[in-house]
Amino acid sequence: MTNSLREQVLARLTHYQVDILQLTQELMAVATENPPGLLYKPCVDLIAGKLAALDLPCEVITVPMGDSELEPRYCVLSHYGSGQPTFYFHGHYDVVPAASPDQYRPYVEGSRLYGRGSSDMKGGLAAMIYALKALQDCAAPLTGRVGLTIVPDEETGGAFGSSYLAEAGILGRDGIGMLLAEPTSGVVWNANRGAISMRITVKGKPAHVGLQYQGVNAFERMIVVANALMELKAEVEARQTGYNIQPEAARASILMMGGVSSAGSNFNLVPGQSSFTIDRRMNPEEDLAAEKALIFQVLESVRQQGIELDVEIFQEAESAGASADHPVGRALAANIEAIKGQPPEFELCPGLLENRFYAQAGVPAYSYGPGLLSVSHGPAEYVEIAELYNCAAIYALTALDMLLGD
């Protein structure tokens, strides 16, 4: 890449600094709370209107909802360039519920922009939109295109957002890499854990305490189930990921029980039903199907002892991982260092990321955004305004590195 083209792109982004901040504030003022998924249409209209005003293409996809009673869901697609391959910018426009309505009245104090979505991740969306615009302004001669994918429902698993686009064969098509604007606190998340979350309900037979011999104590049977799973827990949590994550104790794979539990209805009644949850978080080296099978092997073993139980799975998500030494990882790191003065650490995200949908399509995916994980979702969420501009530059320059011909 010629230095003159880099300088042109950076100059355009300097020109757009006020616009990036303003768009972030406009997006934040639309309370796209999820759950349940409010005001999605006004937010999408705002995004589509901004893309049109910037002379960027825009396609709004209405997601089929089936018999769902939720409000309609929409995905927004844009791009610069043409042909193949595609380097993706990806983000979500939903936010977790606010601590108070005041969080939807964004304000600037010192070097920070405060309000819900500033960090996670409407600031990142604005940075990506203007990164795309800067490339267009400079008529960057790409060997392919930069795709922008903006989705709903990330905060609740992505069923009517990224998951739908993946199933439709749209997400990650012809992809050579993806950047996701999550609040990564200055590091790059090049991997994320997967999840299997379930509720186990153990059946018994209720009876008055004085007639307990007529009942079957579901709580006591639940203890048998939990003890059997404790053996699996010990095996699971002896495994360590090879991806970077701090502190050292965080390297262990996870099987947590009892996040939610319940039993019985009164102190003097034999509980006829008892339940507890399992939250299994897999490292990138582990396979979701294999780990799920291990859990069900344990549950089947206790069924063979005469214990009746039901299982409800309410979350399944694959883990994902991409090498820091992949060309996308190297380009991202080099541009972070160029803009911010020092190279980033690459780390495993302890939670779920939409990286996973791209990884399943064979696209190396990395999260890097302007926000801080420590304040995201909190009552005092904020983003450093300078980081909005930094990320816009990093996104644009990384796309150039991946798509400029020799």
36: tokens are 């349940």
CB neighbour list of residue 204: distance below 8 Å, 6 or more residues apart: 215, 216, 217, 218, 219, 221, 270, 271, 272, 273, 274
Question: Any idea of the CA torsion for 267, 273, 274, 280, to the nearest 10 degrees?
Answer: -170
Pairing of strands 59-63, 86-92: unpaired
Q: Give the pLDDT score at 67.
A: 87
Chain center to CA of 70:
20
Q: Give the pLDDT score at 350.
A: 87
Report the C-alpha gap between 129 and 7 in whole angstroms: 19
pLDDT in tens, the chain (406 residues): 568 999 999 999 999 999 999 999 999 999 999 999 999 999 999 999 999 999 999 999 999 999 889 999 999 999 999 999 999 999 999 999 999 999 999 999 999 999 999 999 999 999 999 999 999 999 999 999 999 999 999 999 999 999 999 999 999 999 999 999 999 999 999 999 999 999 999 999 999 999 999 999 999 999 999 999 999 999 999 999 999 999 999 999 999 999 999 999 999 999 999 999 999 999 999 999 999 999 999 999 999 999 999 999 999 999 999 999 999 999 999 999 999 999 999 999 988 999 999 999 999 999 999 999 999 999 999 999 999 999 999 999 999 999 996 5
Q: Which CATH number fits domain 194-317: 3.30.70.360, 3.20.20.60, 3.90.228.20, 3.30.360.10?
A: 3.30.70.360
Report the C-alpha gap between 361 and 240 in whole angstroms: 26
Residue whose token pair is 């399943």: 360
3-state secondary structure (DSSP) of residue 80 = strand
Helices (H), 197-262: 218-236
Nearest CA-CA partner of 327 in 242, 401, 395: 401
Domain spans, the chain: 3-192+319-403, 194-317
Nearest CA-CA partner of 238 in 257, 255, 252, 227: 252
Report the C-alpha gap between 328 and 94 in whole angstroms: 27
Inter-CA distances, 294 with 258, 310, 317, 361, Å: 18, 16, 16, 26
Count Cα neighbours of 124 within 13 Å in the Cβ-side half-sphere.
Answer: 30
Pairing of strands 273-282, 254-263: antiparallel
For domain 3-192+319-403, the CATH superfamily is Zn peptidases (3.40.630.10)
Report the C-alpha gap between 288 and 163 in whole angstroms: 17
Report the C-alpha gap between 126 and 75 in whole angstroms: 16
